[in-house]
Structure 1
Amino acid sequence: MKNLISFVATVAVLLCTPVCSRGIDPPAEYKDIQKTYLRSVKSTLPSGKCTEKNIAVRKSWDKLSKKERKAYIDAVLCLHSAPSRADPALHPGNRNRMDDFASSHANVVLRSHANGLFLPFHRGFLHVWERALREECSYTGYQPYWDIPRWENDIAGSALFDGSSTSLGGNGEHLANPPPKVFRIDANDGNPPAEFTIPPGTGGGCVTTGPFAANVFNISIGPVTPGNPPPNDPMGRNYNPRCLTRDFMPGQTTRFLSWANITETLAQPDIAAFRPYVESPDGPHGAMHAAVGGAVLDFYVSPLAPEFVFLHGWLDLIWALWQGQDWEARKNGLAGTLTWFNRPPSAEATLDDILDYGDVGPQIPVRDMMSTTAGGLCYRYE
């Protein structure tokens, strides 16, 4: 009998493509939000170039077949092997296109976080990343996302981090008694740097499994914060090869990234409440970075970690869902100034402000990143 049960389980796994979900299904309230969002997307299509026939669909990694996952991983490794296009005088450590994305993020990090540009900047970042995968590395799919609340109790059990050849690898090696991670972020406004401390997680060392393991993948620049930047290189611009690290902290997902947390996020009444809620210490943005930890926790060069775009893809999904609940009222909503926590004081963000993507993309007006079906964008989430 035991052998029969084992055989049936094995067959079930083999027949399950995409891989069967073992995660937590969303509640009815969230599914209703999805339905409203999809109706909203459909209503925006007839007036523009984006149509039901040509709209791209970004899916959860859970919903991709193993073949599709492998194609995505190959495209990321292609970007990692492609030579940098950055000016070596400005970015001497950059060796590949992934480094270019990280340094472009670092260049504007205090002008794209904790301010009015946070959401449109990262939507644009995903757009130029996806375009690079497709145009520079012949990828034919679209950027997936990690369905975080589905895996709030089991980060390592998710298809994205299960350590298999069709994942991004697993947790980093466990480090005994590591010190807490201390962030020091200087806004250069004459005030003392801000400090944040995050306790250690369950890993902390090099990733040793999957296609981004230490023996096949490295990151070139940084660290900046947290950690100890190289001497005489506080912004981590010089070449500093090392392994990709992760430090899973399951408590972050169970406390801040459950389905209940996300539906509460989506219940925020306007952009003045929604954007700061997303970026608050207990909100989705900080919690998702802390939950995975390691390289993706570096405030400046976090795009060095291949999971960065999955985390922000999920965050872009949350913004799109929120916009879709009242499209006419929310489609152009911005809240915040142009600097990190308004340090130094700056003007309020507007649709006419410009998003700067440095060596990985053009300068893009904010207004072009407010809708996923206009301004050069044409995609929806599934």
Structure 2
Amino acid sequence: MQSALALLLVVATVGVRAVPFSLVDTPAKCTNPTKRVSWHDVSAEDKKAYISAEQCIMNAEAKLKKMPGAKTQWDELVGLHQILSLQIHSTGTFLPYHRYMLHAHEHLLNQCGYNKGLPYWDETRDAGNFSISPVFDSVLGFGGTGQGTSKCVEDGPFRNFTVNIGPGFTSQPRCVNRQITNALSSYCSASAVQKAISPTTYEEAWRAIYSGPHLMGHIALSMMNADSITSNGDPLFFMHHGFVDKMWADWQAKDPKRLTEISGLNAQDPKVGFLEFPGGIEEESKMWGHPTTEMKAVTPDPTTGDKGGNQTTLGHVMTSLGIIPDTTLENIMDTKGGYLCYEYV
């Protein structure tokens, strides 16, 4: 009864919309999976192509007209994370939804001419000293740590870009910013990763990944002023979440049964909110506000596909609000299952 009440409170807080099942994508066959390689090992030519495609997304005019404040296709991607933030963090949908979001990002990159495997950042190779990573190269990387009081990134290919979504549930133009703390990056070490993927159940694993290298990586990078709602305004976010997705894929690879194992709430418990912050949703809203009326109007019903319950199931429907077609969680469980077709190397 208590968990059902929590779900109703979430729905009342963020608003709902019905996801049209007619838009749900179905899998094909995966016969030639693309290779997802760490940025360390990506060729200079492919790094240039990736960065160019990312800049293309950031300059392309918004198409969907659904995310409040969005002026570019990049803003729409950031706005998607903003609108769904209370459903895709500290819940059972955390890992599958971010895998789906990586897929949506890859789709936009493809439209901008990048057709290689989606790169990720193997943070274990730089743990304890993030700042020297090739990821932060000023020419073939994402630029370094931010400068000044605003922590704007002042070198690299994204130094002059404006993100129009955030902070929190607002829409205020701001720079791409981050602040690297090397000492905190030690929590993304190989031993930390192995600890995070050692649990035997999905419920334990997603929590260990979420509160371990995922969270500590975010803290060590402080992307977009460490804003949990719109941290994907920094292109580095997708490198970090490729690392997170690889952890889940490595956990799944230990047992074939894990390709169908899912659990957890499909929206935050209002009394808990984000696991990493105290006080629940209302207390946390003092940091980033509440979703606006416009946001609530396009916020999906978190129970869609879960037969009206508050537990995440394989039938759970995930939406990108039109960036790519909706799909069920079942379709993205296997990175080589057909709907997805990639592997980490």
For the aligned pair, the TM-score class normalised by the smaller chain equals 0.7 to 0.9
Give, as a single letter, the amino acid of the residue that structure 2 aligns with 1:285: H
Q: 1:166 to 1:221 in 2, by over 3 A?
A: same
| TM-score (structure 2 length as normaliser) | 0.78
Largest Rg, 1 or 2: 1
Matching residue of 1:205: 151
Q: Cα offset for 1:335?
A: 2.2
How far apart are the structure 1 equivalents of 2:84 and 2:69?
Answer: 18
Structure 1 counterpart of 2:223, from 273, 291, 294: 294
Structure 2 counterpart of 1:137, from 88, 94, 112: 112
Matched position secondary structure for 1:295: coil
Matching residue of 1:84: 62
Cα RMSD, aligned residues only: 1.8
Matched position secondary structure for 2:134: coil
How far apart are the structure 2 equivalents of 1:371 and 1:342?
Answer: 31
Q: 1:166 to 1:375 in 2, by over 3 A?
A: same
* Consecutive aligned runs of 4 or more in structure 1 exceeding 3 Å deviation: 341-346
C-alpha contact (below 8 Å) 1:85/1:359 kept by paired residues: no
C-alpha contact (below 8 Å) 1:296/1:303 kept by paired residues: no
Q: Does 1:338 align with 2:266?
A: yes
How far apart are the structure 1 equivalents of 2:78 and 2:265?
Answer: 23
Q: 1:139 to 1:296 in 2, by over 3 A?
A: farther
Matching residue of 1:95: 71
Give, as a single letter, the amino acid of the residue that structure 1 aligns with 2:124: P
How far apart are the structure 2 equivalents of 1:82 and 1:208?
Answer: 22
Matched position secondary structure for 2:218: helix
Q: Which runs of 5+ in 2 are unaligned?
A: 1-27, 274-308
Q: Does 1:250 align with 2:225?
A: no
How far apart are the structure 2 equivalents of 1:74 and 1:261?
Answer: 33
Q: Cα offset for 1:341?
A: 4.0
C-alpha contact (below 8 Å) 1:289/1:296 kept by paired residues: no
Give, as a single letter, the amino acid of the residue that structure 2 aligns with 1:207: V
Give a deviation string over 1:7-62, Cα, whole Å, max 9, x none: xxxxxxxxxxxxxxxxxxxxxxxxxxxxxxxxxxxxxxxxx8212xx211110000
Matching residue of 1:277: 208
Report percent identity of matched pairs.
31
Q: 1:375 to 1:349 in 2, by over 3 A?
A: farther
Q: 1:296 to 1:359 in 2, by over 3 A?
A: farther
Matching residue of 2:316: 353
Q: Does 1:74 align with 2:52?
A: yes
Alignment of 1:5-24 (within 5 A): none
Q: Which runs of 5+ in 1 are unaligned?
A: 1-47, 176-203, 225-234
How far apart are the structure 2 equivalents of 1:380 and 1:113?
Answer: 24
C-alpha contact (below 8 Å) 1:151/1:158 kept by paired residues: yes
Matching residue of 1:30: none
Q: Does 1:220 align with 2:183?
A: no
C-alpha contact (below 8 Å) 1:104/1:359 kept by paired residues: no
Give, as a single letter, the amino acid of the residue that structure 2 aligns with 1:78: C
Q: Does 1:108 align with 2:37?
A: no
Q: Does 1:155 align with 2:101?
A: no
Structure 2 counterpart of 1:261, from 177, 188, 192: 192
Matching residue of 1:173: 147
How far apart are the structure 1 equivalents of 2:230 and 2:318?
Answer: 18
How far apart are the structure 2 equivalents of 1:296 and 1:333?
Answer: 34
Give, as a single letter, the amino acid of the residue that structure 2 aligns with 1:211: P
Matching residue of 1:195: none
C-alpha contact (below 8 Å) 1:58/1:143 kept by paired residues: yes
Q: Does 1:362 align with 2:325?
A: yes
How far apart are the structure 2 equivalents of 1:269 and 1:92?
Answer: 41
Q: Cα offset for 1:111?
A: 0.9
Q: Cα offset for 1:174?
A: 4.8
Q: Cα offset for 1:142?
A: 2.0
C-alpha contact (below 8 Å) 1:367/1:375 kept by paired residues: no
